[in-house]
Amino acid sequence: MSMTIVVTGASGRMGSEVLDGARERGMDAIAVSRTESTNADSKRRATSGTDAYHPDDLQSLLSEYRPDALVDFTVPEASIEFLDACVETGTPAVVGTTGFEAAELETIDRTSDRIPVLKAANFARGIQTLLALVRETAASLPQYDVELTETHHNGKRDAPSGTAKSLLEIFDEERVHGREGIQPRNEDEIGVHVRRAGNVRGEHELLFAGNDEVLTLTHRAESRHVFAAGALDAAEWVSKQKAGRYEFREVLA
Ligand SMILES: NC(=O)C1=CN([C@@H]2O[C@H](COP(=O)(O)OP(=O)(O)OC[C@H]3O[C@@H](n4cnc5c(N)ncnc54)[C@H](OP(=O)(O)O)[C@@H]3O)[C@@H](O)[C@H]2O)C=CC1
Ligand SMILES: O=C(O)C1=N[C@H](C(=O)O)C[C@H](O)C1
């Protein structure tokens, strides 16, 4: 039997991509949006003739349709509200939203005591490999200076990106966000550089320099399809799990 998913933030760059991807997989995808979808085509096709539902109706929608999972790409405050509705209805959740504060992350952890929650800052498969390569490189070149640069489209709200934060967790060094004026580099710092321009889908680069050599590790997403495909893989996987907090790498294992 085909899966049913609910997609919040359905009018967004990611939400509309997830709706399209779900339909391509033959899933029944129900759109949730505060605004009329900007992507009329995907809304019409993905919701089998019905319009997008308003987030205020989410809990009753989840109770009525009993979807296999909810997929959320919105903003932190909305994600937290949507997770409440998932808890109330026992709906597994995939959270792609980034930019959560520490207290919100704790709330998500508590939520996962009640329902399966898979949260990932980046659903591109290559990012899992980048994380592994960065861990390995940091361990084998401990004396090298490290600088991280991320580039995204001009509509992105949070900075640094959620992916950059995941990469930074690998390092103990103090983070220095950009530099200005007289600011010589300390041995124990990692420079973090954020660029916002055009419609860049998402690029993350780690530069390691020392010993008269430079090593760079770069991941570049070339379309949002890659994120949507990973999120849908995650939805299929999480719908079969018991309550708990899960990582995207578990889906790929
Ligand atoms: N994990 C991953 O692989 C990826 C994560 N992201 C993350 O996903 C999130 C969304 O990105 P993107 O799609 O580009 O953003 P958009 O701004 O294009 O879309 C976000 C959507 O969220 C909804 N929304 C915004 N504010 C609220 C609110 N206060 N209450 C309820 N709904 C709200 C809106 O949809 P509507 O009007 O329909 O309600 C909006 O269209 C970001 O945090 C981004 O970093 C992005 C790409 C990949
Ligand atoms: O907002 C985006 O677009 C993206 N956000 C994610 C992040 O913050 O890491 C993932 C991806 O880079 C695209």
> Of all helices (H) and strands (E), which one includes residue 16?
helix 13-24
Query: Of 49 and 226, which is predicted with more confidence?
Result: 226
Domain 4-123+224-252 matches domain 125-220 at the CATH topology level: no
pLDDT of 52 reads 87
Task: Out of 150, 152, 154, give the residue to mutate to test ligand 2, the one with the largest number of ligand atoms within 8 Å of its CB.
Answer: 152
Cβ-contact 82, 7 below 8 angstroms = no
Percentage of the residues of the chain whose pLDDT score is greater than 70: 94
Q: Is the pLDDT of residue 163 over 90?
A: yes
Q: Which ligand is nearest to the CA of 228?
A: 1
Residue 202 Cα to ligand 2 middle (Å): 6
Q: Where are the domains of the chain?
A: 4-123+224-252, 125-220
Average pLDDT of the chain, as a whole number: 94
pLDDT of 36 reads 56
- Cβ-based burial of 216 (10 A; exposed 0-12, middle 13-18, buried ≥19): exposed
Cβ-contact 131, 107 below 8 angstroms = no
pLDDT of 82 reads 98
pLDDT of 135 reads 98
Query: Of 161 and 37, which is predicted with more confidence?
Result: 161
pLDDT of 38 reads 43
Mean of the pLDDT values across residues 79-106? Answer: 98
Cβ-contact 221, 154 below 8 angstroms = no
Q: Which ligand is nearest to the CA of 219?
A: 2
Q: Is the pLDDT of residue 178 over 50?
A: yes
4-8 and 213-220: which strand pairing?
Answer: unpaired
Positions marked catalytic:
152, 156
This prediction's pTM: 0.95
93-95 and 203-210: which strand pairing?
Answer: unpaired
Mean of the pLDDT values across residues 146-159? Answer: 98
Query: Which residue has the least CA distance to atom 22 on ligand 1?
Result: 74
Cβ-contact 162, 122 below 8 angstroms = yes
CATH architecture, range 4-123+224-252: 3-Layer(aba) Sandwich (3.40)
Tokens of 64: 């009525």
> Do you find a cis peptide bond into 160, omega within 30 degrees of 0?
yes
**Which residue's entry shows tokens 């041995």?**
187
Q: What is the CATH number of domain 125-220?
A: 3.30.360.10
Phi, psi of 131 (to 5 degrees): -60, -45
Q: Is the pLDDT of residue 242 over 70?
A: yes
Q: Is the pLDDT of residue 50 over 70?
A: no
Pairwise CA distance, residues 176 & 192, whole Å: 6
Is 122 annotated among the ligand-binding residues? yes
Predicted ipTM > 0.90 = yes
> Of all helices (H) and strands (E), which one includes residue 214?
strand 213-220
pLDDT of 35 reads 82
Please state the atom number of ligand 2 nearest to the C-alpha of residue 160.
8
Mean of the pLDDT values across residues 7-25? Answer: 95
Please state the atom number of ligand 1 nearest to the C-alpha of residue 82.
31
What contacts 85, CB < 8 A, 6 or more positions away?
Answer: 58, 59, 62, 91
